[in-house]
Structure 1
Amino acid sequence: MAAAVPDAPGTFTDVPTISPSPAPASAPVPRAARRRTGRRAAAAALVCAALTAPLAMAVPAYADEPKPSKTPEPPATMSAVGGDRLAKPGTQVELKEGAPKLPKGLSGRSWIVSDPETGDVLAAHNAHWRLPPASTLKMLFADTLLPKFPKTQKHTVEPEDLAGMGEGSSLVGIKEHQTYTVHDLWLGVFLRSGNDAVHTLAHMNGSVEQTVRDMQKQADQLNAHDTHVVTPDGYDAKGQVSSAYDLSLFARSGLQNADFREYCSTAFAQFPGEAKKGKKRPTFGIQNTNRLLTGVYGGKPYEGIAGVKNGNTTNAGSTFTGVAQRGDKVLLVTVMNPAKKELNEVYKETAALFDWGFAARDKVEPVGRLVGPKSKEGDASKHSATKSDGKHSAAHLAATDGADGRSGAWTALGIAGGAVVVLGGLALAVHRRWPLPDLVRRRGR
């Protein structure tokens, strides 16, 4: 007889059980000996039962053990910047009567739909989950360095400018000892997601290390506390993370800058080739890797799209932040790492969330908001900006989403054309908007 015993969790091996040996039939056995043999047989049977019973009982314990999950799970609690609802894992949405349901089939680990002008978060899914950002981190790079160099400034590329780029980096095609304008370099950053353009600009800023420090400082200033910067280009690096919420803050801030709007919404451009003595410098065409903008590689242009940035790396999967307008509504959508690995999946899910957001804009209660920078609201990590039900309180309505200290081109607009009266009659709170002028609104028509 054999019993199944566990060899390792989930595997079993047949081993013999213990049984008494019978006496030869031809040999006479005295009565006393037969009694002793019987007692030994009984004892052996008890030993056998004692040995095999626990083993048989142990088998279900392995079968009942849960298998380890292959899909990473969001933290049980996350940052409450922007509202307590945003600190919770899972999908957060507050539908009013008649509001459309969220799209089916969304597989992004994290996503957020917001109004970049009012700051209202219409819906979110693990908004503060800290994940690898890929090249969407270049939005923070642009927020940090765009104001530092005039677009007409020229720079001759040295070999050290291109050192240290990660293997397999996306490139625009910058050559050593060639001269480029800052305008050229930013087209390389936004259209081709060129890490060679990023590293060149970083060296113009002093060094890659200095640029990383500056980017981290800028993230902190924008109250983007989920973000830890290790590389300026978003290339995979240990400890480098951001969140859908923070990426939306970077996009929102950048869109206040006219140059940022120009670069992130340019679909096609000419880039300088290699200059040779005595000959006119050639150019070659480059196109934006944002497929909702260009419709290339099987993508479909999205009506009203006006930027901003996409990314893709091994650790991050596909990431994307986009801004679009329909009528007088402007929305910002960020999607990080869809579980579905179909072609253009991140763009499909972004487009679906845009469609939902435009249809639901006035039929949902906000579940949080995009906070303003420290210069206007203080350190948002030290307090929750909204009530747990996601609705705006009088106190946080009084906090203004003001300028980022660069353009000064802000316009204060009261909610519904007027001020909000704080209960108790002690003060008036004006919810300021972040208007998105020029190109963003023109593309929406």
Structure 2
Amino acid sequence: MSTVGGAQLGKSGAQANLGAGAPVLPKDLSARSWIVADAESGDVLASHNAHWRLPPASTLKMLFADTLLPKFPKTQKHKVQLSDLAGIGAGSSMVGIKEEETYTVHDLWLGVFLKSGNDAVHVLSAMNGGVDRTVKDMNARAEELQALDTNVVSPDGYDEKKQVSSAYDLTLFARSGLQNEDFREYCSTVRADFPGETKKNKKGKTTRKSFEIQNTNRLLAGDAGLDAYKGIAGVKNGNTTNAGATFTGVAERDGKVLLVTVMNPQKTEHNEVYKETAKLLDWGFQASGKVSPVGELVPPKSAKTSAQPGAGASGEAGGSGDDRGSSKPVAASASTDGSSGVGIALGIAGGVLVLLAAGVFLINRRWPLPELMRRRR
């Protein structure tokens, strides 16, 4: 395996350096690969086959979003053509996009994050110059992030020959994406309204109603027999035949923010990937400060270390610029036309900035991440 992030991450099996008073790792984990990392410092607290190259399923959409989100204003509108929806794999998850209908970029990203809609991915890819161009852009972005286990073949994560990533790389994608205000909003939205199909009534009047969509991240939305995880604030789930279930989650507790990625649990119990993620999050919060890191989440290749709070970068997420370096506090709302939405409070931690657009990335220091998500039910 690769040793990006440290030699111990290149070893097979579970890796943890337990100190005095540290809890033992959960005993009943079945995932082929997983990682627990401090999202702000980048310290990897524990891992299991962190660099195994495995099919990523829709968790690859985190890289898709990190690559394309800065390119289009969220208010931009696009009328969908039949060609935009070409090449979507059989059995794909879909949000329900219709040709000849017009959607905002904001609508499309809700479809990507909440319903893992491959149709939304293909429309955004078409806006970016096509699937081939988007795949090229995503592979270039992965290389810039030093996610060297990753090879993108399809931008939506659909099973394709030679399409692989790793728990380590997926965690890098999440960490990078979460520095974007819009990424944080979309991945933490539980439910939203999505535009439906334009129809004519008997009198010839056209109407277009919306329908509710709910996030398929079960640690965020909850499910039968599974409560939403306390402090969860995203990120992305996936499931395909080859990949099995995959998931990357970010959660905050008592000022500590952790990222956990779990790939392909071998147990077949319902929601197993979320249950194993919750166990690893619980362990990470208990172990924080009581373990020595087994490695680190590396910065992008072009990054430089900096400790200059107050430096800013131009542009806003979803606008003409890229807010990976935005210094403004965030008070974003995912509410959509009434009580069906969910409010989220997103704060800027510390006051130290990450300016990826300017080539500056803080190593082993705090960086912007969501605070504990407060839901409005």
- TM-score category of the 2 structures, normalised to the smaller one: 0.7 to 0.9
In 2, distance between residues paired with 1:251 and 1:219? 12
CA 1:274 to 1:289, structure 2 compared with 1: closer, same or farther past 3 Å? same
Aligned residue in 2 for 1:311: 238
Aligned residue in 1 for 2:276: 349
Match of 1:93, as an amino acid? A
**Given the alignment of the two structures, is residue 290 of structure 1 paired with residue 217 of structure 2, yes or no?**
yes
Aligned residue in 2 for 1:178: 101
TM-score by length of 2: 0.84
Aligned residue in 1 for 2:359: none
Aligned residue in 1 for 2:318: none
Matching of residues 77-156 of structure 1 within 5 Å: 78-156=1-79
Displacement after TM superposition at 1:375 (Å): 1.0
In 2, distance between residues paired with 1:140 and 1:269? 22
Aligned residue in 2 for 1:254: 177
**Given the alignment of the two structures, is residue 441 of structure 1 paired with residue 353 of structure 2, yes or no?**
no
Aligned residue in 2 for 1:279: 206
Residues 43 and 364, structure 2, Cα contact 8 Å, conserved in 1: no
SS of residue in 1 equivalent to 2:16: strand
Matching of residues 200-211 of structure 1 within 5 Å: 200-211=123-134
In 1, distance between residues paired with 2:246 and 2:215? 15
Displacement after TM superposition at 1:203 (Å): 0.2
Aligned residue in 2 for 1:240: 163
Displacement after TM superposition at 1:444 (Å): 7.2
1:102-128 deviation per Cα after TM superposition (whole angstroms, max 9, x unaligned): 111001000000011000000000000
Residues 376 and 400, structure 1, Cα contact 8 Å, conserved in 2: no
Residues 253 and 372, structure 2, Cα contact 8 Å, conserved in 1: no
In 1, distance between residues paired with 2:158 and 2:366? 30
5+ residue gaps, structure 2, are 314-321, 328-347, 353-361
**Given the alignment of the two structures, is residue 230 of structure 1 paired with residue 157 of structure 2, yes or no?**
no
Residues 303 and 444, structure 1, Cα contact 8 Å, conserved in 2: no
In 2, distance between residues paired with 1:344 and 1:243? 20
In 1, distance between residues paired with 2:121 and 2:244? 21
SS of residue in 1 equivalent to 2:160: coil
**Given the alignment of the two structures, is residue 194 of structure 1 paired with residue 117 of structure 2, yes or no?**
yes
CA 1:322 to 1:412, structure 2 compared with 1: closer, same or farther past 3 Å? closer
1:48-70 deviation per Cα after TM superposition (whole angstroms, max 9, x unaligned): xxxxxxxxxxxxxxxxxxxxxxx
Displacement after TM superposition at 1:433 (Å): 2.3
1:244-301 deviation per Cα after TM superposition (whole angstroms, max 9, x unaligned): 0000000000000000000000000010001235333200010000000001244320
In 1, distance between residues paired with 2:269 and 2:4? 33
Displacement after TM superposition at 1:212 (Å): 0.3
In 2, distance between residues paired with 1:111 and 1:408? 29
Displacement after TM superposition at 1:165 (Å): 0.5
SS of residue in 2 equivalent to 1:283: strand
SS of residue in 2 equivalent to 1:330: strand
Residues 325 and 444, structure 1, Cα contact 8 Å, conserved in 2: no
Aligned residue in 2 for 1:394: none
Aligned residue in 2 for 1:159: 82
Residues 42 and 363, structure 2, Cα contact 8 Å, conserved in 1: no
5+ residue gaps, structure 1, are 1-77, 378-398, 416-429
Residues 179 and 325, structure 2, Cα contact 8 Å, conserved in 1: no
SS of residue in 1 equivalent to 2:164: coil
Greater Rg, structure 1 or structure 2?
A: 1
TM-score by length of 1: 0.71
In 2, distance between residues paired with 1:371 and 1:293? 27
User: Relative CO higher for 1 or 2, CA cutoff 8 Å, sep ≥ 6?
Assistant: 2
**Given the alignment of the two structures, is residue 365 of structure 1 paired with residue 286 of structure 2, yes or no?**
no
In 2, distance between residues paired with 1:113 and 1:401? 25
Residues 317 and 338, structure 1, Cα contact 8 Å, conserved in 2: yes
In 2, distance between residues paired with 1:270 and 1:123? 39
In 2, distance between residues paired with 1:174 and 1:401? 44
Displacement after TM superposition at 1:358 (Å): 0.3
In 1, distance between residues paired with 2:258 and 2:349? 19
SS of residue in 2 equivalent to 1:289: coil
In 2, distance between residues paired with 1:413 and 1:268? 29
In 2, distance between residues paired with 1:434 and 1:211? 31
Residues 181 and 323, structure 2, Cα contact 8 Å, conserved in 1: no
Displacement after TM superposition at 1:409 (Å): 3.5
SS of residue in 2 equivalent to 1:180: strand
In 1, distance between residues paired with 2:255 and 2:72? 33
SS of residue in 1 equivalent to 2:234: strand
Match of 1:267, as an amino acid? V
CA 1:366 to 1:210, structure 2 compared with 1: closer, same or farther past 3 Å? same
In 1, distance between residues paired with 2:307 and 2:77? 35
In 2, distance between residues paired with 1:209 and 1:148? 17
SS of residue in 1 equivalent to 2:281: helix
Match of 1:433, as an amino acid? R
In 1, distance between residues paired with 2:166 and 2:238? 13
Match of 1:366, as an amino acid? P
Match of 2:299, as an amino acid? G
Residues 233 and 372, structure 2, Cα contact 8 Å, conserved in 1: no
SS of residue in 2 equivalent to 1:280: strand
Displacement after TM superposition at 1:431 (Å): 4.8
Residues 327 and 444, structure 1, Cα contact 8 Å, conserved in 2: no
Identity of aligned pairs, percent? 68
Displacement after TM superposition at 1:376 (Å): 1.2
Displacement after TM superposition at 1:329 (Å): 0.5
In 1, distance between residues paired with 2:195 and 2:363? 45
In 2, distance between residues paired with 1:300 and 1:248? 23
What value does the CA root-mean-square deviation take over the aligned residues? 2.2
Displacement after TM superposition at 1:327 (Å): 1.1
